A and B are shown apart, each in its own frame.
Chain A
Amino acid sequence: MLARKLSLVAAFALWILLLAILLGSPPVALAAVPVALYLAFVTLGSRPHLDVTATRLLPSGQVYEGERVTVTLRVKNEGPRTDLEVVDGVPPEISISGGSNHVFAVLEEGECRDFGYSFSPESFGSYSFGPIRIRSSDLASARYEETVTESYESLRVYPEIKYLNRIDLRQTRPRNWPGETSVRRPGQGLEFYGIGEYRAGDPLRRVNWRASARAGHLMLNQFMNEAGGETVLVLDLRSTSRIGTPPNTCADYSVRAAAALSHRLLRDRNRVGLLAVGQRIIKVPPGFGRRQFERILVGLISTKVGVDAWNLELVPYYLSLFYSRMVQLVLISPLVDSSPMFMVSELARRGYEVLVISPSPLEIDIPEKGDPRAIRIARELAALERDAKISSLRKHAKVIDWNPRLPLVDAFEGLRESWRVRRPG
Chain B
Amino acid sequence: MASEKARLDLVSFVRFMGMIAFVSLSALVYLVIMKGASAGVFLIGILFSYAALLGGIFLRRPDAEVLGWLILGTTMITAEAESALVSYWLTMSTAIVVVVFADFEHSVALLSPRSKREAVDDLQQSERRRLLRRRASVLVSAGGGSLVLSLIGVNLSPPLLLSGASTAIVGVLAVVAMVLVAFVVLEVGQGSRDRFRGRSDTPQSAAGALRSLRK
**Bound state CA distance, A26 and B81, in angstroms?**
10
Name the residue of chain B whose CB is nearest to the CB of A27.
Answer: B88
Q: Is the CB of A37 within 8 A of B149?
A: yes
Q: Is the CB of A40 within 8 A of B183?
A: yes
Name the residue of chain B whose CB is nearest to the CB of A29.
Answer: B171
Name the residue of chain B whose CB is nearest to the CB of A118.
Answer: B119
Q: Is the CB of A23 within 8 A of B78?
A: yes
300-347 of chain A: CB within 8 A of chain B: none
Q: A34-B150, A35-B96, A38-B100 are in contact. List 20 more A-B contacts (CB 8 A).
A: A5-B62, A5-B63, A8-B66, A8-B102, A19-B74, A19-B77, A21-B167, A23-B81, A28-B167, A31-B92, A32-B171, A37-B150, A37-B178, A37-B181, A42-B103, A44-B186, A46-B193, A83-B131, A106-B127, A141-B135
Q: Which residues of B contact A5 (CB under 8 A)?
A: 62-63, 66, 102-103, 106
Name the residue of chain B whose CB is nearest to the CB of A19.
Answer: B78
Interface size class of B (residues with CB under 8 A): 35 or more
Chain B nearest CB, measured from A175 CB (Å): 51
Name the residue of chain A whose CB is nearest to the CB of B63.
Answer: A4
Pick out which of these stretches binds chain B: A93-101, A268-276, A349-357, A387-395: A93-101
Binding site for A on B (CB under 8 A): 62-63, 66-67, 70, 73-74, 77-78, 80-82, 86-88, 90-92, 94-96, 99-100, 102-103, 106-107, 110-111, 113-114, 117-121, 124, 127-128, 131, 134-135, 138-139, 142-143, 145-147, 149-150, 153-154, 160-161, 163, 165, 167-168, 170-172, 174-175, 178-179, 181-183, 186-187, 190, 193
Q: Which residues of A contact B142 (CB under 8 A)?
A: 38, 41-42, 140
Decide yes or no whether A419 CB sits under 8 A from chain B. no
Dominant secondary structure at the B interface:
helix
Chain A nearest CB, measured from B22 CB (Å): 16
A-B contact pairs, 28 of them (CB 8 A): A12-B95, A13-B175, A17-B175, A24-B167, A26-B161, A26-B167, A26-B171, A27-B87, A30-B160, A31-B77, A31-B95, A34-B92, A34-B147, A35-B99, A37-B150, A37-B178, A37-B179, A38-B96, A40-B179, A45-B186, A95-B117, A100-B113, A100-B121, A139-B134, A139-B135, A140-B139, A141-B103, A141-B106
Q: Which residues of B contact A12 (CB under 8 A)?
A: 70, 73-74, 95, 99
**Bound state CA distance, A184 and B114, in angstroms?**
67
Name the residue of chain B whose CB is nearest to the CB of A44.
Answer: B186
How many pairs of A and B residues are in contact by the CB < 8 Å rule?
A: 214
Q: Is the CB of B167 within 8 A of A25?
A: yes
Q: Contacts A29-B170, A30-B91: A98 and B119 contacting too (C-beta < 8 A)?
A: yes
Chain A nearest CB, measured from B127 CB (Å): 5
Q: Which residues of A contact B114 (CB under 8 A)?
A: 87, 102
Chain A nearest CB, measured from B56 CB (Å): 11
Chain B nearest CB, measured from A78 CB (Å): 16
**Bound state CA distance, A41 and B187, in angstroms?**
10
Chain B nearest CB, measured from A100 CB (Å): 5
Decide yes or no whether A9 CB sits under 8 A from chain B. yes
Q: Is the CB of B95 within 8 A of A35?
A: yes
Q: Which among B121, B127, B163, B186 is the interface contact of A99 at CB below 8 angstroms?
A: B121
70-122 of chain A: CB within 8 A of chain B: 83, 85, 87, 90, 92, 94-106, 117
